[in-house]
Amino acid sequence: MSILWLSNVSLLYPVLGADARSLRAAIMRQLGIGGVIRQKLGSVTQVQALDGVSLEIRAGERVGLLGMNGAGKSTLLKVLASLYEPTSGEVMIDGDVTTLFDLTLGMDFEATGYENIRLASLFRRGNKRNLDVFTERVETFCELGEYLALPVRAYSSGMVMRLGFSIATSINPEILLIDEVLGVGDREFVQKAQAHLASVMETSKIMVLATHSEAIVRDFCNRVVMLDHGKVAFDGSVDEGIQFYHGVARREAAAA
């Protein structure tokens, strides 16, 4: 049975030689994380990105992960994807994880589109038959035609996103982790991609989606988890979770 389980998970980032006054800007610019500055030991500043997070997500659950910027959403997703190892606590993942984070992650820009498709299939332990099916799916969906025979470095940014999105979504995911909504090219392809992504979400056994969009949460999720400064501030129904999120947003705006 597919399951994501975390018990009292915390994650501290050491930032060597950081000036506390400019730390948050440096973190957001260079690391793409938020968090609370917990302590400074000599020249080492530590940022608490996650603080005692305990969650259990089982098959059939579609979790909308809410929180203000810097709340720890992306960090939590990367822990669930085994990209980050927590400083403390326990994590158990039962099931194959597919991520939609950086669509260019693992892509070789010197290799052709077809070679990148082949590498992605091998990474997913596909055999020859699976490779043929996988290649056909990606080739059909990305609509890059003859460009697939060229090195990816020759692609425009939109074409790279098309290829990355098509590779990432041309499988049936068991556990699907998504960080924000994706823009992957021109308007027509974006509409096609969003419809396809909705289908992929439905076929996954577990989905965790980090977003700021209330509409997306209502459309695709049956549970809301909200993070606030690295802690779980809410875990419950969609309607109550969105209401709680609005309350936190109003308090943050009033305090700004």
DSSP 31-63: T----EEEEEETTEEEEEEEEEEEEEEETT-EE
User: In terms of pLDDT, which residue wins out, 28 or 207?
Assistant: 207
- At 182 the pLDDT is 56
- At 200 the pLDDT is 83
Question: CA–CA separation, 3 vs 12, rounded Å?
Answer: 25
Output DSSP code: residue 71: S
Burial class (CB in 10 A: 0-12, 13-18, 19+), 161: buried
Q: Is 139 helix (H, G, I), strand (E, B) or coil?
A: helix
Bridge-partner residues for 151, per DSSP? 112
Closest CA to 10 of 38, 48, 41, 43: 48
User: In terms of pLDDT, which residue wins out, 2 or 24?
Assistant: 2
CATH number at 76 reads 3.40.50.300
pLDDT tens for 28-76 read 554 444 566 555 555 567 789 999 999 999 999 999 999 998 899 999 9
Residue 147, token pair as written in the block? 């460009």
Q: Give me the domain span that covers residue 16.
A: 3-96+211-255
- At 30 the pLDDT is 47
Phi, psi of 122 (to 5 degrees): -65, -40
In this structure, is residue 43 part of a structural domain?
yes
In this structure, is residue 45 part of a structural domain?
yes
User: In terms of pLDDT, which residue wins out, 205 or 171?
Assistant: 205
Bridge-partner residues for 15, per DSSP? 45
Q: Return the sign of the alpha-carbon dihedral for residues 220, 198, 91, 107.
A: negative
In this structure, is residue 114 part of a structural domain?
no
If one counts the domains in the chain, the total is 1
Average pLDDT, integer, range 207-236: 93
In this structure, is residue 152 part of a structural domain?
no
Output DSSP code: residue 217: H
In this structure, is residue 230 part of a structural domain?
yes
Q: How many of the other CB atoms lie within 10 Å of CB of 95? A: 16
